[in-house]
Amino acid sequence: MSLLFQEAKIGKITLKNRIVMPPMCMYSCKNDGKLTNFHKYHYTSRALGDVGLIIVEASAIEPKGRISSHDVGFWDDEHIALHKELVQECHLYGAKMAIQIAHAGRKSEVEDSTPISCSSLAFSDKKPFKTPLTASLEDIKNIKKLFLDAAIRAKKANYDAVELHAAHGYLLCQFLSNLTNKRDDEYGGSLENRCKIVLEIAKKIKKEVDLPLLVRISASEWMKDGWNINDSIYLCKELEKLGVDAIHVSSGGNQLNTDDMPKIEALYQSSWAKSIKENVKIPVIAVGLITTAIEGEYLLENKYCDFVAYGRAILRNPNLVFTLANDLKQNDKIIAQYKRAY
């Protein structure tokens, strides 16, 4: 059997294959952050298409933590019911469900609020971006509580796992980088201090929420003097010590203008995933322009990662998993109703 179609575990959950649908914002909510029929069919179609793990898009822990006014919200208990329905529908087809909990920080484009960040540095001087307020220690305490509250809601909604969003230049990623974090207190300065908020949130979630916890990181922010793979390895080792169950390795997003951007091509982030995997024992998810069965098998065979996330490819084709199975001559992994298509 191909490696892509082998069962594998993240924490206490067993996935039927190693294929992941990564979180991808659809910007399809009204201002209330509630899931819509679009989300129901969008995710359920990928569950029917036999994806092993579906990670629901970035879901904001407070209204001003949204990227846009059309983001999914997870800041209120009123959001739980629709998520519970979505999870139930996707479970019917054997998919495991995670939700990414997130705060946009200075990258929030919400019009009627002022963003918050670790330091008062704007992502861009052009609209719709604004100069954020610097988070006080009381603000940081509140942010940690909001992340925990969102993880508790995930449990109540019957999600199988939670993903903490610490990538792509959003709030937690802003704290990690020496280029965006200019604090002179316990949450700034040294690498250890800059990682502190992420580690504290992860520790609290692991202690109080009985769900596997994934953390998504940007392994590099594409800046010569910024957050890099060595910093990421340190963070991931510390997360592993806390009991975090998997690391999801992406990159970039923290700087508008970069001076060390990789060539954006197939598998361009996979070497960073491999570096992380070589330094931790917990599962690693690779992502980034992975589109074919051959690419996925290559990454698994050569120990770049333990799971493969197909993003844009699965947007183009909800039945991508069956296409991958056919390409690998694993037609037993294509459901009976769709075999005639192959």
b/e 199-230 (16+ beta carbons within 10 angstroms → b)? bbbbbbbbeebebbbbbbbbbbbbbeebbbbe
**In the predicted model, what is the mean pLDDT of residues 196-225?**
98
The answer to whether 216 and 283 have CB atoms below 8 angstroms apart is no
Concatenating the DSSP letter of every residue in 52-95 gives SEEEEEEEESSGGG-SSTTSEE-SSGGGHHHHHHHHHHHHTTT-
For the cut 90, the answer to whether the pLDDT of residue 276 exceeds it is yes
Does this model's pTM top 0.85?
yes
Phi, psi of 15 (to 5 degrees): -95, 140
pLDDT in tens, 53-112: 999 999 999 999 999 999 999 999 999 999 999 999 999 999 999 999 999 999 999 998
Name residue, tokens 């129901």: 40
**In the predicted model, what is the mean pLDDT of residues 226-237?**
98
Phi, psi of 117 (to 5 degrees): -150, 180
Residue 59 tokens read as 């879901």
For strands 8-10 and 19-21, give the pairing.
Answer: unpaired
pLDDT in tens, 155-210: 999 999 999 999 999 999 999 999 999 999 999 999 999 999 999 999 999 999 99
- Supply angle C-alpha 304, 212, 11, rounded to 5: 55
pLDDT in the model for residue 201: 98
pLDDT in the model for residue 1: 80
Name residue, tokens 């009627």: 112
**In the predicted model, what is the mean pLDDT of residues 285-308?**
98
**In the predicted model, what is the mean pLDDT of residues 202-219?**
98
The whole-angstrom separation of Cα 141 and Cα 201 is 10
The candidate with the shortest Cα–Cα distance to 160, out of 231, 86, 224, is: 86
H helical segments located in the chain: 37-48, 80-91, 137-156, 171-176, 191-208, 229-241, 270-277, 293-301, 312-316, 320-327
**In the predicted model, what is the mean pLDDT of residues 250-254?**
97
The answer to whether 215 and 243 have CB atoms below 8 angstroms apart is no
**In the predicted model, what is the mean pLDDT of residues 326-341?**
97
Ordered structural domains, the chain, with CATH: 3-341 (3.20.20.70)
The answer to whether 130 and 115 have CB atoms below 8 angstroms apart is yes
The candidate with the shortest Cα–Cα distance to 278, out of 230, 310, 243, is: 230
